[in-house]
A and B are shown apart, each in its own frame.
Chain A
Amino acid sequence: MTGRQLFEQYQTHSGIWDEMCQDSNIRGQYSKVFDDISELPVELLLQKDKQAGELFMNQGITFTVYSDEAGIEKIFPFDIIPRILTSAEWDHIQQGIKQRLRALNLFLKDIYSEQQILKDNIIPASLIASCPHYTREVFGIRVPHDLYVHISGIDLIRGQDGTFYILEDNLRTPSGVSYMLENREVTKRIFPGMLTSSRARMINNYPLLLHDILGSLSPQQISNPTVALLTPGVYNSAYFEHTFLARQMGIPMVEGRDLLVDDHKVYMKTTAGLQQVHVIYRRLDDDFLDPLVFRPDSALGVPGLMSAYRKGNIAIVNAVGNGVADDKAVYAYVPEMIKYYLNEEIILPNVPTYGMENLDARQHVFDNIHKMVIKRTNQSGGYGMVMGDKASEIEIEEIKAAIIDTPREFIAQPIIKLSTVPCFIDGKLQPRHVDLRPYALCGPNGINIVPGGLTRVALREGSLVVNSSQGGGSKDTWVVDL
């Protein structure tokens, strides 16, 4: 059997946008990949699939699952068939994300200083006051170039008619970019030549762009600032990514215990004594950064870090307190923010979102609960999510009771059937739902988004949850110039 027969047997779901097929035709962006794979025997595809897994394993791109006393190393599943976007689709996405980030940066500056948007009643002050991620400790702190969100991973999904929606803003410490880069490296190894024949755009300059931005944020005018990546350590599930980025940028990777603060300056402990650090790219949540200000039991942070931050002696990337802008309830107000700060109409729409504090909205959601997904505003990673069409009656009753109890902690959105992409599973091509997370970098010279991003795929049949903690995998993502 060859790839051609696999494609012939490929069955899309009716009423759902498929990224490769339109009715029974192959979309233009997939034609080259279609031609190439059609020629290959299935045995070879199976072999390539296996080879891809081994490449991840050997490089230690794994996470550990603990069972009994021994940890088992697993890889994040990778699907060998790429997800392909056209340059026109990409331009649209890019504009939308840039617009959104400009507004979110202005919002963060505003909310931690003048709070004009609250005074003008665009966003209810109670919504911010009740947001657990609003960080009073950073009120009034000026950050270099007024940039708060340097690195973002905004999640997009695609609805039935092919419209892209913004699903979630990740403005704190979004992860996954190393998978985007490694997925591409693996594709180069298993399908050499296919990238060039499809004219896929290059992505591997991401670490260099990031490094430039980090260097430019140094609070002091020095020619060669010390930039360090702060990691929670080897037990963090994204540890591979931290080492990957530190290595690619050539910056030291430090843990909290490697740093100390003296006279409001941050130093790292080296074999030659103390050395001052000017910029910290932290992969640690706000809560753990400084035990003197946030969680006192944090052993991962650096006592005194916030005092150095307040004095302007250290730049922290992303800024502290960004959680207020990617809160799921604040998300609903981003279209208003864009209007308010930029006087523009939103380019990439939000998924309609119902705040549960509004009684009319709540009633509407309860009446249509089987078409809704309920999310907790303070959780991510797909945890605490209830899909109205799949949940049992008991679960529904429970979530309703919880909503009535603490409405601020929930939002509801209509279930959107995510678009599908063919995946090579059990020797067959099967449609699976995907989302898209492009990684945007904001620096003093503007916003850069490497073409593509990470496509996460729900590998379980029928599942709409793409998170890696819930059985998700990923795909290489191409932007092709047709």
Chain B
Amino acid sequence: MLSRIADSLFWLNRYMERSDFELRVIRTNYILSFDMSMSDDFSWKDVITLFSHTHDEAVLEHGHTISSSLAYLVSNTKNLNSIKVLFTRARENARGVQDNITKEVWEQVNQLYHIVNDPQLEQKITGSRALEIIDLLDQNSTLFYGVTDSTMPRGQGWNFMNLGKFIERCILTIDTTYAHFKKIEHKLTKAQDILFWRGLLLSLSGYELYLKTYTRGQHNNNVVDHIIFNKDFPRSLIYSLVRIKRYLEKVAEDTKLEESVILQRNLGRICSRVEFADLEMIQRESLPHFLYSLRKDLVEFSNQFTRIYFSYA
């Protein structure tokens, strides 16, 4: 497979994963924001910070009202992580590799692109039909996952796509969790009721599973356990890391590059930090430090991976 193609497939899926997640966060917060009890600890500014990584007041201004938040997060092209920009970039990547993805996958990405490039998007998203539009985007994003799963051949392209997807997912889970725990200053001992965690768990599509799995104990610790160690939860760190490991093995097997071994070793180290940790250890290290250093290592790994497999320019 051409390096450029692998690169584009990797990024196609990173953008799709990011937008899928962002849409879910927007949807969850949009609905929750109407609950009075949430108003204390809920702010659109937090959502904007999460996806723009900025503390710039001018940007955070957008968080004052629901409609300006939605406009910024969905249709503003100055926001590099707006849904419109993400789908446009995903489509650019898909366009460059059209002969390496199935017609069905291409048509689905193309469809999303046309939805977000509707000239009336901003008007619709800021009006009373906002939820309808978010749902439409969410459904089409889900269709992308379905169509990819049911039509893409399980070759190298598939492996690179999945590496993109799970690396992105892992980073997103870390970021969201970090941001949510920050609201209680990362104090695991400071007890919170389930309402406080609902926003986070719903954004990660893990609310119901959480309720089923953790019937007793203190929520704070349970949520950490769920997000980091629950192997049945598709957005937990351990789940994503195991997938990354699996797809990296396949890529290494296919390409037979010498440098693959170094990559596999580095990833192994990252995985073992989660696999062989427990709640107590994390508490000793402190949760923010654990999440921060994990993220740093993962980003480093991703850069190294890019250098080895995509160096074509």
- B is bound to A: yes
Which residues of A are in contact with B by a Cβ distance under 8 Å?
57-60, 70, 73, 233-234, 239, 243, 246-247, 252-255, 257-258, 268-273
Within 8 A of A (CB), among B292-312: 309, 312
Residues of B259-312 contacting chain A, CB below 8 A: 309, 312
Q: Which one of B95-103, B173-181, B233-241 is at the A interface?
A: B95-103
Of all chain B residues, which has the CB nearest A228?
A: B2
Name the distance in Å between A2's Cβ and chain B's nearest Cβ.
34
Asked if A258 and B4 make an inter-chain contact with CB atoms under 8 angstroms apart, the answer reads yes
**Given known contacts A58-B107, A272-B256, A247 and B1 CB-to-CB distance under 8 angstroms:** no
**Please, which residues of chain B bring their CB within 8 A of the CB of A233?**
96
Asked, given contacts A234-B95, A243-B99, A255-B4, whether A272 binds B255 with beta carbons under 8 Å apart, the answer is: yes
User: Which residue of B is nearest A246, CB measured?
Assistant: B99
* A-B residue pairs, 8 tightest by C-beta: A243-B98, A246-B99, A272-B255, A247-B99, A60-B110, A269-B312, A253-B99, A271-B6
Q: How far is the CB of A34 from chain B (nearest CB, A)?
A: 34
Q: Is there contact, CB below 8 Å, between A257 and B313?
A: yes
B257 at interface, CB cutoff 8 A: yes
Contacts of A271 in B (CB 8 A): 1-3, 6, 156, 160, 251, 254-255, 257, 309
When C-beta atoms are compared, the residue in chain B nearest to A239 turns out to be B95
Q: Which residues of B contact A234 (CB under 8 A)?
A: 92, 95-96
B99 and A257: CB pair below 8 A?
no
A70: chain B residues within 8 A (beta carbon)? 117
CB B286 to nearest CB in A, in angstroms, measures: 39
A58/B111 in contact, CB under 8 A? yes
Tell me if A258 and B99 are in contact (CB < 8 A): no
Q: How many A-B residue pairs have CB under 8 A?
A: 70
B87 lies within 8 A of chain A by Cβ = no
Collect the chain A residues with CB atoms within 8 Å of residue B95's CB.
Answer: 60, 234, 239, 243
5 contacts between A and B (CB under 8 A): A234-B92, A234-B96, A258-B3, A269-B312, A272-B1
Interface string of B129-166 (1 = CB under 8 A from A): 00000000000000000000000000010001000000
Q: Is the CB of A272 within 8 A of B98?
A: no
Q: For residue A17, give the distance in angstroms from its CB to the closest CB of chain B.
A: 39
Nearest CB of A to B1, in Å: 5
Chain A: minimal CB distance from B131 (Å)? 25
Q: How far is the CB of B70 from chain A (nearest CB, A)?
A: 20
User: Which of chain A's residues has its CB closest to B308's CB?
Assistant: A271
Main secondary structure of the interface of B (DSSP, over half): helix
B106 within 8 A of A: yes
Q: Whole-angstrom distance between the alpha carbons of A410 and B9 in the complex? A: 48
Residues of B within 8 A of A (CB): 1-6, 92, 95-96, 98-99, 103, 106-107, 110-111, 114, 117, 156, 160, 251, 254-257, 309, 312-313
State the CA gap A239–B92 with chains docked (Å).
12
Task: Evaluate contact between B2 and A247: CB separation under 8 angstroms.
Answer: no
Does B312 contact A257, Cβ atoms closer than 8 Å? yes
Given contacts A270-B3, A272-B254, A60 and B99 within 8 Å (CB-CB)? no
By secondary structure, the A interface counts as mixed
Question: Could you tell me the distance in whole angstroms from the C-beta of B30 to the nearest C-beta in chain A?
Answer: 27
Chain A residue contacts of B257, Cβ below 8 A: 271-273
Q: Given that A58-B110, A60-B106, A257-B312 are known contacts, is A269 also in contact with B3, CB under 8 Å in the complex?
A: yes
For A59, the chain B residues whose CB sits under 8 A away are: 103, 106-107, 110
Select A268's contact among B2, B106, B107, B110, beta carbons within 8 Å: B2
CB distance from B23 to the nearest CB of A (A): 21
A234 to B106, CA, bound (A): 14
Interface-centre pick from A243, A252, A268, A273 (highest chain B CB count, 10 A) = A243
A258 touches B92 (CB 8 A): no
Q: How far is the CA of A271 from the CA of B155 in the complex (A)?
A: 13
- Chain B positions within 8 Å of A268 at CB level: 2
Interface centre among A58, A70, A246 (most CB of B within 10 A): A58
Residue of B nearest to A260 (CB): B312
Contacts of A272 in B (CB 8 A): 1, 254-257
Which residues of B have CB within 8 Å of A269? 2-4, 312
A59 to B95, CA, bound (A): 11
Out of A243, A247, A253, A258, name the residue touching B312 (CB < 8 Å): A258
A243 to B101, CA, bound (A): 10
Closest CB of chain A to B34's CB: distance in Å? 33
In the assembled complex, the Cα of A212 lies from the Cα of B201 at a distance in Å of 55
> Do A258 and B256 form a contact, CB below 8 Å, given A57-B114, A60-B106, A234-B96?
no
Once the chains bind, are A247 and B98 in contact (CB under 8 Å)? yes
| B3, B114, B156, most chain A CB atoms within 10 A | B3
Min CB–CB distance B121 → chain A (angstroms): 12
CA distance A257 to B3 in the complex (A): 10
A252 touching B2 in the complex, CB below 8 Å, given contacts A257-B312, A272-B257, A273-B257: yes
* A270 CA to B2 CA, complexed, in Å: 4
Q: How far is the CA of A180 from the CA of B64 in the complex (A)?
A: 53
Q: A60-B98, A252-B5 are in contact. List 12 more A-B contacts (CB 8 A).
A: A58-B114, A59-B103, A60-B95, A234-B96, A239-B95, A246-B98, A247-B103, A253-B98, A271-B254, A271-B309, A272-B256, A273-B257
B99, A252: Cβ atoms closer than 8 Å: yes
Query: What is the bound-complex CA distance between A268 and B312, given in angstroms?
Result: 10
Q: Which residues of B contact A58 (CB under 8 A)?
A: 107, 110-111, 114
Q: How far is the CB of B187 from chain A (nearest CB, A)?
A: 46
